[in-house]
Structure 1
C-alpha cells in the first residue's frame, strides 16, 4: 500500500482536512484505553457526504477505516492501524427536530451536551448520559451502545435509536430501523442476517444474559423479531460493521424536578446487597455507588472535596435520584423509599437534597471515578481492562465478594469500586503491572479468570464500555463457540474484506497485544530543568499522566482547554498534546514523532497552548500542560536562536525597567506608525496588537518615600510589586495600599528591582527564570524568616510563587516559605485584616473575568466573599481564559485564536452588560484583552473596586 497515493487521492477527492503528518498520527494513536495503534492517517470531513467519499477512497485503496468521535473508548475500539475518520470537528449538526414525535436527526459528531443544550428549548433531551457527556459524541455512543447513570430510567443507546443511515465498506448506503422492510441496496444483507438468525435463534435465547447491562458482543437478540432491527444490531458494533452517517434518535422530556437520597453503608458489598430492595420498591432515575476507597483517593488528591462533604456517615454510599413533574412528587417518592427501608432523613447515614446544584455536587463524586482512580495515592497506577462488568442486580453483592477474593488471589491491591449498581454494573480501575513481562502475563490471566467469574453469575463482560480489544478475546467464554461463530458470520455479511475497525470484537487481537505500555516499554529519561515533584522527578512519567478521558475536548464551560474550544483540533487539546509528548519519549519503534526535543510536530502542537493552567485544575488526572510546554521549549531552543517574541516578551521585565528611564518617549515611539510596525516585526509581535502604555512613574517609585514597617512587626505585609502593576498600572498598586491600610495592615513595598520569573518561564527560558526567582528569594528572606505575609495583585505572578516555584526550585526552603506565606490580595483582607474590619460598601453590580491562573492555582472564593461583603452583586463569568494569556496573544500568528477565545463568552457577555455594571478583571492580560476588544469598557482590579467605596 502506498500511503502517498492514498493521501493524494484523499486530498483530491474529499472535502476535508487530510492529515498524514506525524503530529496527527501521534495524537490519534490511542483512545482512553490501554492500547495503542498508530493510524495510517486522519480525515476530518467537512460534511457527511465528504465522509462517505473518504470511505470510498479507502475502499479503492483497500485500507481499513475507523470512525471516531470523542475518542473516549476504554476498551481499545477507538484506536487502529487504519485511516481514522474523525466526525467530531465538522459533522456535528442537529439536522432536524420533531417535537411531536419526540425524535431528532443528528450527524455523528455532535457531542451529547451540545445536543441537549439545543434541544432544551423543546423541553426534550437524549436520555442516556455517560460520565463523559460533555464531550462524547452521539456517533460514539451508537458505536459503543453507551448507557451512563441515567440508563436506570432510559435504557441503553440501542433502546433510544429509531433509525440509522449507514454506509457499508463496499459502498451500500441506506436508512435502517427497527422494522425496515425497504427494498434498498441491503436486500441481500437482510437475507443473510435472516439466515443467521434462523440458524442461531435458540442459541441466542440461551446464551444472551437477560440483564439490564449486556453490552458485550453484537446485538443478535435484535434480529429475533419478525422484522430485523438493523439499527439495533449496528448499535454497539464499535464501527466494525458499517459507518453511521446520520441517526434518528428518540428523545425524552426533561424532568422538571428531582430529589436525591444518599445512603451510607459499612462497605461496598453491603451497599450492593441493599440495591434489590431499593429498585424493587421504587423507580429511581439513578442508583449510583461510591465506595470508601474512592473517597479516600479524592481526599488524598484534594479533588472534589465539596462533593465528598455532601455524603452522610458511612464507608460506602448509594446515590438514589428520583424525578417527577413537581418537587412534591419527587420528594414523595424519596420519603416513601426511606419509610420502606426503615430510615429517616435525620439519620446520620442519610442525606437528602432537593436542590439541583447540590445533587449535581453529589453526582460529581461518582463521575470523578475515572480520573481519580488513574493515579491513586500510595498505590501503583491503575488501568482499564476489567472496568465495567455487569451482573443481575440481585446477585451483585455476592459477585463483588468473589471479585474481591479474585483480586487477592492475584496479589492486587484493593481498588476503588463504584458504578451503576442499580443495573448491577461495576466500575474499577485495576493496579495491573503493565510495564513488566510477569505483570502483563498476570493481567491476561486475571482477565480470563474474571470472565469465567462474571459468566458464572449470568453476567456480561461489559456493562457499558464495550469489548474492543480488551474483551474481544474473552467473548467465547461468555457466549460459547456457536455464538462467536454467529458474530463472525454477521461481520462477514456486512464487511467480508474485514476492513471496518479490524481486530475488534470479531477475530480480535489478544488482550495483551498493542499495549500502550507493555513489557517492552522503555521511555527515555531526560534530565530536566524543572523538578516534576508530583511525578517522582520524571518528565516521562508526567507526560504519561494523561489516560485519555477527554474532558479537555468539551466545547463550553470551565477553563481547559481554550485553544481546543476554538479550533476543535485533537492536537490542540490537552490530551492531544500529552499524547504527542508521550510518543516523543516512549520509544516505540513505530512512533511517528521523531527527533526528540527537536520535534517540530510537538512544537507545533504546543504553539497554541495558552499556558493558562486550566488543565492543572480541570484535568481529572492533573496534567499540567503549561509546565510541560515550558520544559519542552527549554530543550527545543537550547543553544539555538529563539523566536523573536521570546526576547521581546520573555525579557519584558528588563525591557520595562529600561523604558522607565523615558516612558513617554517610548510610548510615543511605539505608537508612531512606521516605528511601531518595525518594532512589532522585529519583536515577533502580532501587527494587530497595540502595545500597552508604560506608566510615567512606576509603583515602586511612588512608594519610595513611604514609611514602611520592618520584618516581624505586627500587622506588616509585603505588597509584591509585580512587573505589570509596577510599570503599567501603578494606580492599582496605590489602590491596594489604601485598602490594605484601611484594613489595619502596614504595607511594605520592596524598592529593589524584582521579578517572579513568569515571562521567562512561559517562554521556556528556565535557567533565567531560576536565577530571577533565587534573587527574589534573597531580597525577601528577612520577611520570609519573620513569617510576614507576601501579598500579590497579579494572578499570573501569584501563581508562580504559589505553584511554579515548586517546579523551579523544589528543594529550596525559602521557596517553600514563600509558598506558605504568599496570599492573594483578597486572602490578605479576609485572613489578616484587623478584627471587625469590613470592606467599604460599593453597592453595585459587577461582571467578573476570573483569571485562569486564579481558577487553576489560587482559588477565587476569597474574592467573591469580599465583594459580597462589600455589597457587590457578583456575576463570575464561565468564560475560561480571556485569550491574551500573557505573551501568547501578543505573539505573531496567535491573534486570531486569541480573539476567538475572547469572543467565545467574555466579550459577548460584556457587550450585553449594562454600562453601569463594573467589569472586574485582576489579570493584566484580561484587562488588556477587554480594552482591545471593547475600548469603551474600562475593566478594574478588585483593589480599585474596593477603593471606589472608600471615602
Structure 2
C-alpha cells in the first residue's frame, strides 16, 4: 500500500502492518475494538510530525496513543495509530516549578527523575506506573491527587501542537497583545485564533451557563478555557480533546512540591451512601485526597487475595469507608491533621494508619479496584461502560442511593462502588451482558438512563476517563444540542478534514457500535490445560485481559520483563493477550494456532509467571504460551532447543553415568560450539556443568534417620547440577526432627516439557510422578521442593494440566517450600548467624504463586538480616536465556535490576537465590556466588556440627537447642 510505503520511507521510526502489531493495537482498556491500518512508532517528535504530514497527503485518519489504558475507547480507531511511548520519552528541561517533556514519557518515570528535586506532577491516576503525559493531556487525567492539585488541565502551561493540515505551533494563555500579534502575522495560525475568538464571542453566555460547576467535569471540550476570565488559554482548551483536534508534540507542565510526610485517616460508615453524605464535612479539613470504597470491593479483596488480612484488618468497622490522606512538613503535622478529622466526627468508626508502609498497602487496595472487580467469583464478568460519572460532592450520598437503585432496577447487582469521593467521582464496573444483541440493548438503555440521572444532579458523564466512544453519543443529554453544535464548530476550526480520531466526541460512533465482545464468539478448542478461572475455556482466557496495562510498568515487581527490555506493546502481557484474542477471533489473525505472528509475539515471553501474580486480572501468559506451543508445533518439527532443553531430564539422567566426561566434551572449545549450535543454545552461554555425584546417588549411602517423614523432591536441576542445596536441606530437615525420604525411582515434574509446549509428554511424566508418590501423599507426608519452578508445577501447573487426577491434586496440596516446613521448628535468634546480611532474589514463580514472606520470616527468625530485592526477573528464566536469539534480551533484563543490585551489595553480604536459573544468571554477569536458602540456613544453624552429626532442634512446642 502506498501509505505504508511512504511512511516507511519518510518516518524515522518503526512502521508496521504485520498482523501481530495490528492485533495488539486493536484494543485499549475499553469495550471497543477497531483495527488500525498502520502502526507508527516514531523515534523522535519530529519523526512523529512527519508521520502526520504523510497521513495528510494520503487523507488517512490518525490518532495518538500513550499508555493505551483508556476506558472509553478513545485509543482505538481505524487509520493510523502513532504510539509515542517507546522512544519519545525525554524530560527536556526543568526550571523552578515547571518541566518540558515529550508526550510518551510515563508518569512514574517522570516523577522518579524529578525525585531528587522533591518535585512531582500533580495528577496521579491509578495507572500512574503506565500512563504517559501525552495520554494524560489527551484525557485530562485526574486521579486521587486531583483533590489537592486539580486535573491535568490545571497543570498544563504550554503545548506544542501539530494540526492535521501541518501547522506546528506553541499555544498557551493568550493576552490581547499576543492575540493581536498572531492575527497580524496572518496565515493559518492567525485564522485559527480569529475563529476561536469569534466562537467565544458568539457563544459566550452559553459557555458560561451550560458547563457544570463541579471539580470533576472531564466530558466535552474545554471551551471555558477560552473565556476572558481564564486568559483565552488555547493550550488548556485542547486538553481532554482525545486526539480529535491536534497532535501534541511537547508539553510544558507545572510541578508541585512532594509532600514530605503523609498520614492516612480511615472512616467507617454503615454503607457507601452514608460515606458519600460525609464528604463535604471531610473535605473542609483540606486533605490531599478523599477516596471512597464499599464492602463489595473489600469482599473481593479478600476473595481474590490482592490484599492480606493484616492490611484489611486496618479498616475500621463499617460497610463503606472514606480513606482520607493528609500531608505535612513533619510527620507530626500530618498526623495532627488526620487526628483533627477523626476528633471532629461523631458516631463513626475511625482508624489512623501510622505506618507508612501499611498506609501504602491499604492505598493500593483502592488503586486495584478496576482489576479486582473485573471477574468477581461466582458472578458474571463485569465491564466498563459507565464507570466514572461525577456529581457535585455535596450531593454525592443521594446520587449513590439513586444510582444503586438504577443498577438494581436493571438487574445489575453486586456492582462495587468506589472512587474519588472528595470530588464526587464514582467508579464502578457493571455486569453488562455484551455478548448478545439483547444484552447490548439493555446496556444501551441503562447508560441512557444513567446519563439522565447524572445530568439531573448537575454532574458530568465523565469525571476522569473521558468520553471516547462510551459517552460521545450521550453528551447531548449533559450539554444540550446548542453546546454540541459549538463543539462541532470547535472541531471544524482545528480539523476541517475530520481526520483526527474520527467518531469520538463530535459525530460519534454509537455507544453500542464496535463492541468487542458482541463479535467474539470463537469455537472453543480442545486444550491440555483446564483454565479453571475461565470456566474451562481457553477462548475466555485469551479475552481475560481488560487492558489496565500494569504489565507496561518499568520498575517494581516482575511483570513484564520482556516489555521492560523492548518497550514493545506486543511484548507486554497485554499485547500478547490481545494478539491471542485476535487469533481466536480469526479476523486480523487468520492462521489460528499456526500463526507465525502469534509465535513471534510469544517468543520473548520468559514464562516467568509474573503476570499471574501481578496482573490485576491474573492473566497467565506462561500457561497460554505453553498451550499455544503445543498446538503450533503439533505434528511439526520443533526448534532444536525444544529437543535439547525440553528433554533435559532425560539427557541429565544419561549424563549421570559419566558426568566428568560429559563436562569435558561440552566445554571443549570447538566441540562446545558445535553442541550449542545443534541444541539451539546461544554460543555466548556457558553450558551448566554436571555435578560429579548426583544428590540421589549421595543420598542412597546415607544412614536412615528417625522422625516425622518428609519427601525431599529431587528436581533435575538440584539433583544433577547443584546437589549441595539438597544435601544441606537433608541436614536441616533431620536437625529439625524430620526423617527425609527420596523417591526410590527417578521422577520429574515435567517443567521443561511444559515450558516448551510438549504438554502430552508433560502430562504423562507428571501423572507417573503423582502415582508413584500417592501412598505417601495419602498418609499426609509433605513433599518439599527446593527448585521454585518445579515446586510451582507441583502446586499450580499440575492440577491445571491434569485437573481430573486426584493424585495430582493431592500432590499439589502436599507440596511445600523448605521455609514453610521449617519455620515452626527452627530456633529463634539469637544464634551464631546473628549479624549475617543477605540480599535475596525471589524466583519469579515463587513471587507470583506463594511469595517470599515465609522465607523472609524464617531468615529473620534465625538472625539473618535479609533485604528482598525488587529487581524484577533475572532474565534467564529456565531455557529462555539459553536459547539462540534471546541472549541480548536476557542480559538486558538482568542489567535493568538484578546485576546492578548484586554488584552493589556490600562486602560479606550473602547473595540468596533459590532458582537455578537465577543463580546461573547471577554468576554469568557478576563475580558473586549465590547460595540456596538451604545452604544459607545450614551455614547459620549447622556450621558448628560436622556432616552426619547435626544439631537437633525441638518441635514447634520446644524450640530451644537440644544436644544429641
- TM-score > 0.5, shorter chain as reference: yes
Who is 1:9 aligned against?
Answer: 6
Deviations 1:63-89 (A, max 9, x none): 011100000000000000021100000
Deviations 1:524-548 (A, max 9, x none): 2001011111111100011111000
Report how far residue 355 of structure 1 moved: 2.8
1:808 aligns with 2:801: yes
Who is 1:671 aligned against?
Answer: 667
In 1, Cα distance between equivalents of 2:357 and 2:906:
27
Who is 1:565 aligned against?
Answer: 564
In 2, Cα distance between equivalents of 1:384 and 1:338:
34
Structure 2, unmatched stretches of 5+, are 945-964
* 2:143 maps to which of 127, 144, 148: 148
Deviations 1:20-44 (A, max 9, x none): 1101000000100000000011111
Report how far residue 837 of structure 1 moved: 10
* 1:237 maps to which of 231, 236, 241: 241
Deviations 1:886-926 (A, max 9, x none): 00000000000001111111111111112311111100000
1:703 aligns with 2:699: yes
Question: Is residue 839–residue 869 contact of structure 1 (8 Å, CA) maintained in 2?
Answer: no
My pick for the range that moved more, 809-818 or 556-565, is: 809-818
1:57 aligns with 2:54: yes
In 1, Cα distance between equivalents of 2:730 and 2:405:
63
Report how far residue 213 of structure 1 moved: 0.3
Deviations 1:624-661 (A, max 9, x none): 00000000000000010000000000000000000111
In 1, Cα distance between equivalents of 2:67 and 2:238:
19
Pairwise mapping of residues 98-497 of structure 1 onto structure 2 (< 5 A)?
Answer: 98-99=95-96, 102-179=97-174, 181=178, 183=182, 185-225=188-228, 227-280=231-284, 282-305=285-308, 306-342=310-346, 349-497=349-497
Question: Is residue 307–residue 364 contact of structure 1 (8 Å, CA) maintained in 2?
Answer: no
Deviations 1:368-414 (A, max 9, x none): 11001111112111111110000001111111111111112212123
TM-score (norm 1): 0.97
Deviations 1:7-28 (A, max 9, x none): 1111111100111110100000
Who is 2:839 aligned against?
Answer: 847
* 1:26 maps to which of 23, 37, 40: 23
- Secondary structure at the residue paired with 2:419? strand
In 2, Cα distance between equivalents of 1:420 and 1:121:
29
Deviations 1:204-253 (A, max 9, x none): 11110000000000001111116421111110000101000000000000
Question: Is residue 607–residue 877 contact of structure 2 (8 Å, CA) maintained in 1?
Answer: yes
* 1:634 maps to which of 626, 630, 637: 630
Pairwise mapping of residues 461-860 of structure 1 onto structure 2 (< 5 A)?
Answer: 461-518=461-518, 520-587=519-586, 591-708=587-704, 715-831=708-824, 833=825, 841=833, 843-860=835-852
Question: Is residue 266–residue 351 contact of structure 2 (8 Å, CA) maintained in 1?
Answer: yes
1:917 aligns with 2:921: no
My pick for the range that moved more, 941-950 or 887-896, is: 941-950
Who is 1:937 aligned against?
Answer: 928
In 2, Cα distance between equivalents of 1:837 and 1:912:
27
Structure 1, unmatched stretches of 5+, are none
- Secondary structure at the residue paired with 2:20? helix
Question: Is residue 839–residue 946 contact of structure 1 (8 Å, CA) maintained in 2?
Answer: no
In 2, Cα distance between equivalents of 1:834 and 1:47:
58
Report how far residue 708 of structure 1 moved: 4.3
Question: Is residue 923–residue 930 contact of structure 2 (8 Å, CA) maintained in 1?
Answer: yes
Deviations 1:420-465 (A, max 9, x none): 0110000010110000111000111111111111000000000000
In 1, Cα distance between equivalents of 2:831 and 2:651:
37
Report how far residue 840 of structure 1 moved: 6.1
Report how far residue 706 of structure 1 moved: 2.6
Report how far residue 705 of structure 1 moved: 2.5
Who is 1:93 aligned against?
Answer: 90
In 1, Cα distance between equivalents of 2:398 and 2:829:
60
Change (3 A) 1:836 1:502: closer
Question: Is residue 562–residue 880 contact of structure 1 (8 Å, CA) maintained in 2?
Answer: yes
Deviations 1:506-534 (A, max 9, x none): 1000000001111x432220010111111
Question: Is residue 758–residue 800 contact of structure 1 (8 Å, CA) maintained in 2?
Answer: yes
Report how far residue 839 of structure 1 moved: 7.4
- Secondary structure at the residue paired with 1:153? helix
Report how far residue 356 of structure 1 moved: 2.1
Report how far residue 873 of structure 1 moved: 1.5
In 1, Cα distance between equivalents of 2:687 and 2:313:
47
* 1:888 maps to which of 877, 880, 888: 880
Question: Is residue 827–residue 862 contact of structure 2 (8 Å, CA) maintained in 1?
Answer: no
- Secondary structure at the residue paired with 1:311? coil
In 1, Cα distance between equivalents of 2:355 and 2:235:
38
Report how far residue 326 of structure 1 moved: 1.3
Report how far residue 707 of structure 1 moved: 4.0
TM-score (norm 2): 0.95
Report how far residue 751 of structure 1 moved: 2.8
Who is 1:83 aligned against?
Answer: 80
Who is 2:954 aligned against?
Answer: none
Deviations 1:77-104 (A, max 9, x none): 00000211000000001100002xx001
Deviations 1:331-359 (A, max 9, x none): 2211222222136xxx8x21102332221
In 2, Cα distance between equivalents of 1:707 and 1:619:
47
Report how far residue 816 of structure 1 moved: 1.5
In 1, Cα distance between equivalents of 2:777 and 2:208:
74
In 1, Cα distance between equivalents of 2:414 and 2:621:
31
In 1, Cα distance between equivalents of 2:339 and 2:346:
10
My pick for the range that moved more, 464-473 or 860-869, is: 860-869
- Secondary structure at the residue paired with 2:68? coil
In 2, Cα distance between equivalents of 1:876 and 1:821:
26
Deviations 1:540-568 (A, max 9, x none): 01111100000000011100000000000
Report how far residue 741 of structure 1 moved: 1.2
Question: Is residue 128–residue 154 contact of structure 1 (8 Å, CA) maintained in 2?
Answer: yes
In 1, Cα distance between equivalents of 2:831 and 2:798:
31
In 1, Cα distance between equivalents of 2:40 and 2:345:
55
In 2, Cα distance between equivalents of 1:149 and 1:835:
46
Change (3 A) 1:489 1:547: same
In 1, Cα distance between equivalents of 2:517 and 2:742:
52
Question: Is residue 56–residue 171 contact of structure 1 (8 Å, CA) maintained in 2?
Answer: yes
In 1, Cα distance between equivalents of 2:846 and 2:830:
23
- Secondary structure at the residue paired with 2:103? coil
Change (3 A) 1:58 1:836: closer
- Secondary structure at the residue paired with 1:244? strand
In 2, Cα distance between equivalents of 1:722 and 1:696:
16
Question: Is residue 708–residue 748 contact of structure 1 (8 Å, CA) maintained in 2?
Answer: no
* 1:873 maps to which of 852, 865, 868: 865
In 1, Cα distance between equivalents of 2:757 and 2:144:
43
In 1, Cα distance between equivalents of 2:391 and 2:51:
41
